[in-house]
Structure 1
């Protein structure tokens, strides 16, 4: 085990606009290296359980959230201790299955180590959420190791700034001397859980010494966020928010402009200097990400996901349109002149209700389907709605592909009932008889 490390942060860039990272982001310190805060972390392997209950008590009494890098075989041997640690809200880190030197492993064996450990966590209902810590700190900066981590979905390589050396049985004086010598703003402190480690006994003194030096404590979830994205994440509730755990470091969102994105378990937060900072998650996020997110015609989000006025659905507005979702309809895009028409008719609270399709090409123009009708558009005719029995007849005769062509009016009242006009004729509904009549020009 290495003793102390130089302060180091390896920047993360996406391989393409808002694409999965090609290499894991190494966090030797937190993003924030100006504020006097540190993060406490513990490693553990199978040979001894240590005293997790005592560590939890100390952390709880001091209001500290820590991280625990556990091997798969530790979790298998000590499931109750693992449950206690992670159920308390502390961050689980994949520390491999049986603690090999990663630089000596092939890609296949590295992935096997990750997978076997993750399977052990999953059996207890936990996940590392793509966070890794290198056994023996071997190869934590190795380009091949970090590429292999990213290729398996491990985008956070959560390293450390210095080791207390409690695992070597260091005395309290030695441990505290290291704390005083090596602590820096944003530092990540490594301790060990094992029965032979003196870290648990020293923990209260470590905490009080750090506080005496003017240091506070940052939980690992917050340590990998920064700036406006970090502030948004904190305001939403951080790891307890709908977004969950950070999955990446902060990345450039697009190859042009000033922007950033960070991926989380359930969504992403985007920032652009001229728009602001907004989150996208859940079913709307799935739709947006599948379309290409910021590289699609929708561009950057302009709102967080928001509850609709009718309290039934959810929406995000983007530069180029909106995505609306409700339980019966799922997520669909609405944009341009069709969106403007829908908005003028009351959005989802109007008679059209929620969209049930994305905008699609039709003969001569574009159309979107809604719960209560359709909206059609072309440059020549503008956007108009067709609904009810008139819509049913219009579709029956062939819709935009028929002699009627595209609508040139919304449905409107006449003396005998209702009417919609089309390029090639009109359809009327008789309120007395219920008859629907098609008239061609």
Structure 2
């Protein structure tokens, strides 16, 4: 149940929308949760519907879901851990319908009266209850009693524990007090603004469920439509990319943060999602990175690494087996057999000229590494070597096997100076200080050095 003091704690359009995250210098994890009292989009006449549930009574989830379903609305449900433990069947019904789950603490205490450790324990106990049913809040929080929701220390504590979205509300219908439908609708008419987040209550003594059809029809009569909580926390080109990918139904899942500056330069942005991120830079556009490729990229330092910003979304390779992202200064390729590997520069150019993964080299199975005199990358079907003196050349098959037996680039042969090529009766590769030849008839491999 909300504290009575929250009735007067209304948020007007002129005062509060959301508190942006502090820009990070290198796509670092947020240092503070973003507080959303309204959606990012405060120009369009859309609202988000949300419901709080404590634990005193289950409410009527079936009826709420029926009304939302009939009206095509996706809402958010802010649940305590005790509600989930006490009413697991109702919880499953709510969340199986695709509505957003928000961590509302375990047993609804005043968060300003708790230490950091106590706050984290409240979050963990609630999350454990969600997890036992197969669900997660994904790092979304709503403050019980709206207590301290804009407190800087609380939002730092949330972020330090992986909660980057503090999903607040614009106004409360006060149905939890037993308000009449007329009173609820008067508040809807008075306090609704573009981007508003409306909070109602699921408890059995709340009048919100009975008033819900009238709330929806009144809002539509005022010219308002409905956005879902997933879209409410995205905006601009990142939001458009997220929507085009399928939003919460995409591989990215639900948003994990608000939008942040990707670097201190101020001409870029990033938003974190359940399994990846979307990056935007003013001269490149917005692209997503996720999964194993994302793990590799994020582990390297993402935009602060030499790869820079993504230039493509994760894309299926032409052979249909793997995935790749191109970045400003290289690519990461993944396949089930090879994992996620980095390839760039002249070695990538050579691989490209030989047909990428559909060529005889197949997928990269290592990153580019330093070798004696230059650089090299391993592929499924051979190696590519590079130096400033010799450029990039491939070595494969029986010739590569012998070359590696001799010590590779550390041998007297040095680096390759050409690709493997046809000769009478077989194949040959030339090196800085010699040649390796393969006989097609006998399979014999011979080595000739300059010494």
Equivalent position SS for 1:250: strand
Number of corresponding residues? 441
2:443 is aligned with 1:434: yes
Is the Cα contact below 8 Å between 2:289 and 2:310 reproduced in 1? Answer: yes
Aligned counterparts of 1:433 and 1:17: Cα–Cα separation in 2: 57
Aligned counterparts of 1:431 and 1:39: Cα–Cα separation in 2: 71
Aligned counterparts of 1:271 and 1:15: Cα–Cα separation in 2: 14
**Does 2-11 or 39-48 show the bigger shift?**
2-11
2:6 is aligned with 1:6: no
TM-superposition CA deviations, 1:218-254 (whole Å, max 9, x none)? 0000000000000110111100011100000001011
Query: Which residue of 82, 93, 102 maps to 1:93?
Result: 102
How far apart are 1:189 and its partner, in Å?
0.2
Is the Cα contact below 8 Å between 1:14 and 1:22 reproduced in 2? Answer: no
In structure 2, the residue matched to 1:335 is 344
**Does 160-169 or 248-257 show the bigger shift?**
248-257
How far apart are 1:15 and its partner, in Å?
3.4
Question: Which portions of structure 1, spanning 4 or more consecutive aligned residues, are displaced by more than 2 angstroms?
Answer: 13-16
In structure 1, the residue matched to 2:323 is 314
Is the Cα contact below 8 Å between 1:14 and 1:20 reproduced in 2? Answer: no
Aligned counterparts of 1:13 and 1:80: Cα–Cα separation in 2: 40
How far apart are 1:6 and its partner, in Å?
3.0
In structure 1, the residue matched to 2:263 is 254
- In the superposition, the TM-score normalised over structure 2's length comes to 0.97
In structure 2, the residue matched to 1:111 is 120
In structure 2, the residue matched to 1:237 is 246
TM-superposition CA deviations, 1:131-178 (whole Å, max 9, x none)? 000000000000110000000000000000000000011111111110
Query: Which residue of 72, 93, 117 maps to 2:81?
Result: 72
2:142 is aligned with 1:133: yes
Equivalent position SS for 2:384: strand
Equivalent position SS for 1:201: helix
Aligned counterparts of 1:315 and 1:289: Cα–Cα separation in 2: 15
Aligned counterparts of 1:14 and 1:73: Cα–Cα separation in 2: 36
In structure 2, the residue matched to 1:42 is 51
Query: Which residue of 202, 207, 226 maps to 1:193?
Result: 202
How far apart are 1:257 and its partner, in Å?
5.0
* Unaligned runs of at least 5 residues, structure 1: none
In structure 1, the residue matched to 2:36 is 27
**Does 425-434 or 178-187 show the bigger shift?**
425-434
**Does 409-418 or 213-222 show the bigger shift?**
409-418
2:408 is aligned with 1:402: no
Query: Which residue of 366, 370, 378 maps to 1:369?
Result: 378
Equivalent position SS for 1:148: helix
Equivalent position SS for 2:19: coil
- In the superposition, the TM-score normalised over structure 1's length comes to 0.99
Aligned counterparts of 1:429 and 1:17: Cα–Cα separation in 2: 50
Aligned counterparts of 1:103 and 1:352: Cα–Cα separation in 2: 60
Equivalent position SS for 2:258: coil
TM-superposition CA deviations, 1:176-224 (whole Å, max 9, x none)? 1100000000000010011111101100110000000000000000000
TM-superposition CA deviations, 1:38-71 (whole Å, max 9, x none)? 0000001110111111101110111100000000
Aligned counterparts of 1:188 and 1:71: Cα–Cα separation in 2: 19
Is the Cα contact below 8 Å between 1:429 and 1:436 reproduced in 2? Answer: yes
Equivalent position SS for 1:249: strand
In structure 1, the residue matched to 2:363 is 354
User: How well do the aligned residues superpose, as a CA RMSD in angstroms?
Assistant: 0.7
In structure 1, the residue matched to 2:421 is 412
Aligned counterparts of 2:352 and 2:160: Cα–Cα separation in 1: 43
Equivalent position SS for 2:32: coil
In structure 2, the residue matched to 1:57 is 66
Is the Cα contact below 8 Å between 2:23 and 2:263 reproduced in 1? Answer: no
Aligned counterparts of 1:14 and 1:399: Cα–Cα separation in 2: 47
Aligned counterparts of 1:6 and 1:48: Cα–Cα separation in 2: 31
2:394 is aligned with 1:385: yes
